[in-house]
Amino acid sequence: MTPRSRSETARTAGPLVGAGVFLAALAVLGFRLGAVPLMEPDEARYAAVGQTMWGTQDFVTPRVNGFVYLDKPPLLHWLTALSIGAFGPREFAVRLGSLVAAAAGVALVFAFGRQASGQSAGLISALVLAASVLWFAVGRVIRYDMLLTVCLTATVWWGWLGSERGRDGRRYYVYAAAAAGLGVLVKGPVALALPMLILLPYLALTRRLRALLEVPWVAVLALLAAIVVPWFALCEHANPGAARFFLLHENVARVKGEIDESHHQPWWYLGPVLLGACLPWTLLLPGAAWCGSVTRKGADEPQRRACLLWLLWLLMPVLVFSLSKVKVVTYILPSLPPAALLIGRYFAAPGGGGRWPLLATGVILAAIGAALPALQPQLPDGLRIVPLATALAVGGLATVTAAAWRKPPAAVALLGATALVFYHLAIATVGNSSLFPSDRALVRRAEELRRPGERIYCVRKLSRGAAFYLDERVAVFGATPAEYDFPGNADDLEGWVYPLEEARPLLSSRPALILCRNRFEEEFLARAGDSVVRLADTGRGLIFRSVPASASDQGAGDPPP
C-alpha cells in the first residue's frame, strides 16, 4: 500500500469508526428508553410543551397547559414535537432528542480525541463519557442541558480546528458559528459566551490570537444572525415583550437569584458536583488533569495545545456557573466532554499512568457491592438489591484484576462496562417504583375513575404529567404555576387558576376530579369540606371527586376544556 493510499484509508476510517461510535452509544444509552415514566416536574413539562406544539402546529410560541411558556428558546421543543409527530406521545419519543444529542456528544468526543491524541485515546474518551453517571442520566431524559452541551462541544472543537489549520481551516469557524447558533436556540446567550470564554483565553495563552484574523467574520456573523434572529423576531411579534422576558427573567434574574429560590446554592457547590458527575471515573480525573497540565513542549505541539484547551474547558463551566446564585446539577454537564478527553489521553499515552486509581476504584466498587445486601432492611420495599450488588462486586473485582496485571486500557473498559450495566439494572429496579417522581400512575388511575364531563383540577401544584398524559388543559387551586410567569398570560388566568378559598363553592357546583399531593390533603379538605369525596390514594397523590350540590348547576361558568 502506498503512503497516499494509506492516508486515504485513514481519512475514510475515521468517519466510519465515528459513525460506529455514534450508533453504539445510541444503542447503549437508549436501551429501554421508554421503560420509565416521565418525571415531575421538568420532563413532564417539556413533554407537554412539545405535545401542544405538535397538536397546534404553532412552532413559534411554546405553550404548556395552554399558557405561553418562554423560559427557554424552542429547539428542544421543536425536536420533541417532531418526534411526537413521528412516533406518537410516548416516553421514548419525547426523550429521543436528548438521546440522539448524547450519542452525538460521545461521537464528537471520539473525533476530538482521535484528532488530538490518536484513535485509542478517542475510543477511551468516548467510553468514559458514555459511562459517566451524569451523561448517562441526562441523555435519557428531556432537558435542555444535553442539547446545549453538544452544541458547545461542537463549537469548541471546530473553533480549535480552525485555529490549528490557519487559512485552510476557515470553514471550521463557520461550522462553529452554526453550532453556536443552534446552542442559542437551545438555551440562549450562554451558548455564545461559554465557548468564547474558553477559546479566547486558550488563544491568548498559546500566543495564537492572530488566528482571529483568519476568521471569516462576515460569514460567521451572517450565519449566526440567520439561525438566531428569525425565531426571536417572530416570537416577539406574536408575544410582545417575549425577548425582554427571556433576557431579564430567565438570564439576569437567574444569575442574581431573584427567581427559583429552591435552587440557590453556595459558591462552591459545583466543584463537588463535578466530581460526582464523573463517577465512576472520579479518582482518575486528578491524575489525568495533572498529566495534561505538565505535557511538555516538543514533538507533539498540537496535542500539548489540546490539553491546555481541555483544562480550560473543564474549569470554565464551573467558574461561570458558580457566579449564578441559581445552580442546578446539570449545569456541570459541559465539563464532562473535556474530562473524558483528558482521561482518554491519560490511558492511551505510551507509559500512561492510572493503575493505582483504577485499583482503588475497583476495590471501592467491590466493597460497595458486598455491603449492599446488608443494607436491604433499611431500604424501601421492592428494590432488587442482589443484581445491583452482583454487578458492582463482579465488575469491581474484574477491574482490580486487570489493573493488577498492568492492563490499564482493559481495566478502563471493564470499569465502563460495569457502570453501564449497573445503570441499566438500577433503572429496571427503581424506575417504576413509588420512589420515582412521576404522575403517570396517578393520572392513569384518574382516567379509570373519571366520568364523562368531569374536569381535572390540581391542588397547589400543577401536575405536568396530567397535562401530557391526558393531553388536555388542567386547572389549579392555589398559587399560579411558575410556568405562567410571562406577563402576557395574566389576562388568561381566569377559569384556570383559582384561589384555594374558592374550592368549596366551585366544586359544589360542577363535576370534577381533583389530584392532590398527600401533603396538601389536610389544607384542601379544610377548604373543600363536604364538596368532595376521596376516591383513591396512589402513593404519589390522592384523587377526589366533587359532590355537586345541584345537578342543574353543574358546569355553570366553567370555561370549555
Q: How do the pLDDT tens digits run along the chain, 561 residues long?
A: 443 444 444 455 678 999 999 999 999 999 999 989 999 999 999 999 999 999 999 999 999 999 999 989 999 999 999 999 999 999 999 999 999 999 999 999 999 999 998 999 999 999 999 999 999 999 999 999 999 999 999 999 999 999 998 888 899 999 999 999 999 999 999 999 999 999 999 999 999 999 999 999 999 999 999 999 999 999 999 999 998 888 877 767 666 655 666 677 888 899 999 999 999 999 999 999 988 887 654 446 788 899 999 999 999 999 999 988 888 999 999 999 999 999 999 988 766 667 899 999 999 999 999 998 888 777 666 667 888 999 999 999 999 999 998 888 899 999 999 999 999 998 888 765 656 789 999 999 999 999 999 999 999 999 999 999 999 999 999 989 989 999 999 999 999 999 999 999 999 989 999 999 999 999 999 999 889 999 999 988 999 999 977 543 444 444 444
Site of grid cell 489493573? 403
Q: How many residues are there in the chain?
A: 561
Q: Is the separation of the CB atoms in 149 and 336 below 8 Å?
A: yes
Residue 169: the pLDDT is 86
Alpha helices (H) in 88-189, listed in sequence order: 91-117, 119-131, 133-138, 144-165, 170-187
Residue 57: the pLDDT is 97
CA 361/CA 164 separation, integer angstroms: 37
Q: How far is CA 152 from each of CA 404, 480, 552, rounded to the nearest angstrom?
A: 38, 35, 60
Residue 8: the pLDDT is 45
Residue 256: the pLDDT is 62
Dmax (CA) of the chain:
92
- Spans of all domains in the chain: 3-31+90-231+263-347, 359-430, 440-553
CA 114/CA 20 separation, integer angstroms: 14
Report the amino acid identity of residue 174. V
DSSP code at position 59: -
CA 436/CA 482 separation, integer angstroms: 22
pTM of the model: 0.92
DSSP letters along 262-313, please? GGB--TTTHHHHHHHHTTTSGGGHHHHHHHHHTPPSSS-HHHHHHHHHHHHH
DSSP letters along 424-488, please? HHHHHHHTTSTTS---HHHHHHHHHHPPTTPEEEEESS--HHHHHHHTS--EEESSPPGGG-SGG
Report the amino acid identity of residue 271. G
